Amino acid sequence: MRLILLGPPGSGKGTQAQRLVHRYGIVQLSTGEMLRAAVAAQTPIGLKAKDIMAGGGLVPDDIVVGIISDRLDEPDMVKGFILDGFPRTVPQAQALDDLLKKKHIKLDAVIELRVNESALLARVETRVAEMIARGEEVRVDDTPEVLSKRLASYRSLTEPLIHYYSERRKLLTVDGMMTIEHVTREIHRILAAIGAMDAKSVKKARGEAPTRVVKAGRPVKKTAKRAGKAGKPVPKRAKKSGRTTGPGSKAKAIEGSKKFAKKPPKKRAKA
């Protein structure tokens, strides 16, 4: 699964990205985090970015595109990723398109967290209070003055990306004003709806057990298949519980409905 999370500062991108990472084992690529690490380590990139970040400005495109390009080449990217805070401008989005094309990577979706701007300041204040309570160092750009600058930059430079990805049929918008839990659930729902998750992930997100594993640990499909091949009836245990993979079974309802239910009766009789 390869995603972009889009939303203004304080919209909950970081929190939702963490939850997606936890659920699907994908990697979070936060340019803000990477840049803060570079500033802390006083690398050449960090030294260039430090003052820009402290003032709420945007670090030059070539720097952030370079960071992302290098990161996409790392082996853990095969698991999938979620981009948080990148791209932030249309030129960055175009650069990302080029990078993905060159690296033969397909983007599944762009999730926009839509929030009411008046709530953002309160959210950032809460974030600061929580960081202080945890004894963590507060971000230098989490002040009301810098936040309003970051918001203005989001409106003028990042918001056009909503149109950019909508035109490319990649945009999925979620109401970011709901509770954290509801936003997470809605994200899972829309990802399942567009087929961005594999069947296993859909079930995991719904809290369902994997279909093919039965009590005794034997895969249902195999049991039914074997019995069918040998011309024997399906074992009673499987019949009773409805755990077969044929028409009318629970398994069918979850993952095989099209495959079985839509078969014309004529064909089935032939087979």
List residues binding ligand AMP (CB under 6 A). Answer: 9, 31-32, 35, 52-53, 56-59, 64, 85-86, 88, 92, 141, 150
Residue 33 contacts residue 141 (beta carbons within 8 Å): no
Q: CA 161 to CA 157: how far, in whole Å?
A: 8
* Residue 127 designated active-site: yes
State the CB neighbour count (10 A cutoff) for residue 37: 13
To ligand AMP, the closest distance from the beta carbon of 204 in angstroms equals: 28
- Strands (E) located in the chain: 2-6, 27-30, 81-84, 109-114, 171-175
Question: Least distance (Å) from ligand AMP to the CB of residue 263?
Answer: 49
Q: 247 preceded by cis ω (within 30°)?
A: no
Q: Is 150 annotated in the active site?
A: yes
The answer to whether the CB of 36 falls within 8 A of the CB of 69 is no
User: Shortest Cβ distance from residue 261 to ligand AMP (Å)?
Assistant: 46
Catalytic member of 71, 114, 123, 139: 139
**Annotated catalytic residue 218:** no
Residues in the chain: 271
Nearer to ligand AMP, 3 or 35 (CB): 35
Give the residue among 2, 57, 17, 11 at the shortest CA–CA distance from 35: 57
By beta-carbon proximity to ligand AMP, the closer residue of 6 and 172 is 6
Closest to ligand AMP by CB, 5 or 234: 5
The least distance separating ligand AMP from the CB of residue 161, rounded to whole angstroms, comes to 11
Is residue 13 part of the annotated active site? The answer reads yes
Active site (annotated) includes residue 206: no
How do beta strands 171-175 and 81-84 pair?
unpaired
Beta carbon nearer to ligand AMP, 9 or 80: 9
Q: Tell me which residues are annotated as active site.
A: 13, 88, 127, 139, 150
